[in-house]
Structure 1
Amino acid sequence: MTSALSRLANSLWLFALRLLVDPQYFITLAALVVLGDAFLTQLIIRFVPYTEIDWETYMYQLELYMKGERDYALITGPTGPIVYPAGHVYVHQLLYTLTDSGTNLWKGQQIYAALYLTSLALTAAIYKQAGGVPNWVLLLLPLSKRLHSIYVLRLFNDCWAVVAAQAAIFAFGNGWDALGIVLLGCALSVKMSVLLYVPGLLVILFRRRGLLSTVLHMLALGGTQLLIGAPFLLQYPWSYLKNSYEFSRVFLFKWTVNWRFLGEDLFLNSSWAKSLLVAHVTTLVLFGLFKWCRSDGGVLQVLDRGLRTPTRAPSLAPLTADYVTTVLYTSNLIGILFARSLHYQFYSWYAMQLPFLAWRTRYPLPVQVALLLAIEYAWNVYPSTSLSSGVLVASNVALVLGIWFGFPEGRTVPQPKAAKSD
């Protein structure tokens, strides 16, 4: 009996060890993580009170739309006017129907719980596709208190844009660029923040498809916005564009999670906003010039080949899923770092990308984990303080620098093939 129990314990130990470290068990562990988080999420819904922030406003605005209003300037609610593209409206029209005109919050929470688990499953699929991350890192994904809150206790619309963007990243990683554009267009139609991926996507498409195809893909991305926004564009085009794609909107200082330590006067100063924009663009350009094209001999050679033969892909090396994911995640991270204001729900934009990004640095394991804990801490301090804000900015900076000196093209960089003669 004792021998049998010992053998059983040894077998269970070996199985647990393989789950944590053997790549062949990655999918098995991912499935267990999703199932475990499904149980945890139900406990959160059951025992943690829901907090009303924007849901009632979403439903109020939706009712105006359903009554026939198409002027974005007149579609407003208790917390303000509608400031999202038309995809947001269609998503909440469906939610309005499924939640008894927005009154059944339990149904809404269950829908968002399913959406959260979809996000978790997509993240695991992207990690598996890209590789270079140990199995046990999956155990870090369900640990965010703030992320669960954003999905099932706040019901923010950011979640829909995030999941659509994740599906797009998975598609791009597989080389399904047309599908990726459609999915990214759906994400962009809900939340303008999805534009943060576009600089990295331009590099990927140019290297993989060439100049002409890149232009066509970008036109297709713009076309999705025209198609989805058509009911509003046909009647009140300026009102729709001004309110749903407002680049000059200034967020209130009291809600920001980052840059709070600068003080309100500097935070609201237009010169500071311009400085952040310059820093954002400069950082992207530096990554484009010195990091994202190294495996192809550098950006000048890539541009030379791409401009001389615009119908052919200039890349001599195949673009792996590792490369695609690393570049898209990094592009998003850079945008988040230099965003003047980050509200608490914006954490969803990159929360599940953080472990992957940490493993694209050369930092030792304790530093990688410390960065993840520091970022989670900063997003859970409410209201934010100068300390929590400083910790967030410093941690995001450390991640960007870590990737710069680490693995900006991913951990597996293929060798270039011989260049073809023109």
Structure 2
Amino acid sequence: MKNRNLLLFVTNDFVTALGNSIFTILIMWYVYDVTGLALATAIIGSFTHISRFFAGPVAGVFADRSKKPLSLLIWALRINGILVVCMIISIYSLSGNGEIWAIFILVALREITFSLENPAQTRIMPMLVPVDSVSRLIGYRSVSSNIASLLGNSISGFLIAVIGITGGLIFNSVTFFIGAFIISFVHLLTPVERQGGLSNNHEASVTKAIKEEQKEQTSPERHSFKKDLIEGFKYLWKHEYIRKVTIIASLVNITSMIMPMFVVYFNEFLDSSPQAYGIFNAALTMGSILSGLVIGKISQKFKNATIVVGGWLFLGIILLFMFVDFPIWVTYLFGLLLGIGVTLPSITLDTVQILIVPDEYRGRVHTIMQAIAVVLIPLSNLIGGLIADGLGANYVFLFAGIWQFIIVFIVFLNRNTFNTSNI
């Protein structure tokens, strides 16, 4: 049963991650193709971060308080599929501004709904396998998500070229329905089963354990969300190291203005095809996977500050190179290097964020840090869109590269903040 749950969950995660990666590229390509505006593409690219900032904490509380988290996950996936179908209908039945506004609204609703997926998954994961297998489940999930992203980024461009945007969206909607169908077959383990299971003679113990868990889930402490949130903010503000890391994480995310501009970059600056964009995204994901495989050994040889400064300096150099028009195969290489330059420091930064916060505050403070870290992304995306419309997409990479050097200088001045052994 436990291995079956693991297989079903990882398969579901693979399918939905595949669908999500395809959707992101399809919808940004479509919006730019219809509007011709980099700003519109930037707005669409900002919806994920806006929903994470506003809807994420609420979704987390909702998932925690749900008595049926598995059903919540299933319906979140189904609604995602339905919303994608609604987008297809809008594309066929509407035109002009009505079509664009409908797509914007539906994408916003999809992102809000999709924000339920991660907390719902996090809620049910400890219920799928014994306690000593949770880390293995998370590891498999990470691998499956990366492979799905790699595959999705690779085939999305080909889907656009072969079956068009609407055909790609139909394929995308199917992935969400399949994911919901797969995950519906998992069996949530009882508290005792999660500890390794007991014999049938211990039915009374099982019943008692279940009742205790249910009592814990409905205890008054669960309703002190507002108080806990305020305490988390206070803790973050009072501790210099945590405050500095949060501010730096927020500032570095301004560089993410390049993400929605890749579509414009390939369309206008490189005058390339959707297939080329798909290959570039695949190379980007390959760089991320490679970083995940080597970060363990790198972190043993270098200090956190060295990894962050070196990685972000490397990232800044690559961004400056992308200001220039190189042959397409060089751009693919840049994609691979970007994946490395983004992921290595990001993993290290995430590690620092976790280690510098004590256990009793870690959950809420980490959530607040994530929310603050993404707060500037929508604004930076809009600025990137304005730069691309006014000067050209390659100037977005020039600006991002210069900004990245400023961030490297800031991190270098505060390098002891990232070396957790000094805290």
- TM-score of the aligned structures, taking structure 1 as reference length: 0.29
Structure with the larger RCO, 1 or 2 (CA within 8 Å, 6+ apart): 2
TM-score between the two structures when normalised by the length of structure 2: 0.29
